[in-house]
Amino acid sequence: MGCQAALSRANPDGIINAVAQHTHYGFSNHGQIRENGSEAADPHLTICVELVGERDQLDRFCRRHGDLLGDKVIVYKQLEHWSVMPRFDR
């Protein structure tokens, strides 16, 4: 998946948070283990894209952009969303 393409489509679709993160070591989709070496980066190392939103938004995003997600591993995990506000009652 083109990370930039997915992330650029996430904001207009109402996704609250979208980030792409490079991994340092691992595998995906039953592939071989890959790692970033100290001298050269591995261009085939997995990039994790994290999208945060309501379940129906994420479902709609996956259906709408299936062309980007077709052969990718997708994990859904329900989260709590907290808003922390400053206290002024000291």
Domain ranges of the chain: 3-69
Residues shown for the chain = 90
| Nearest-angstrom CA–CA distance, 21 and 18 | 10
Q: How far is CA 51 from CA 27, 35, 45, 70, 89, in A?
A: 20, 24, 19, 16, 35
The amino acid occupying position 71 is D
- pLDDT by residue for the chain (90 residues), tens only, comes to 577 888 899 999 999 999 988 888 888 888 888 888 767 777 777 788 899 999 999 999 999 988 888 778 888 888 887 888 888 876
User: Among 22, 12, 5, 85, which Cα is nearest to 53's?
Assistant: 12
Answer yes or no: are the C-beta atoms of 20 and 72 closer than 8 Å.
no
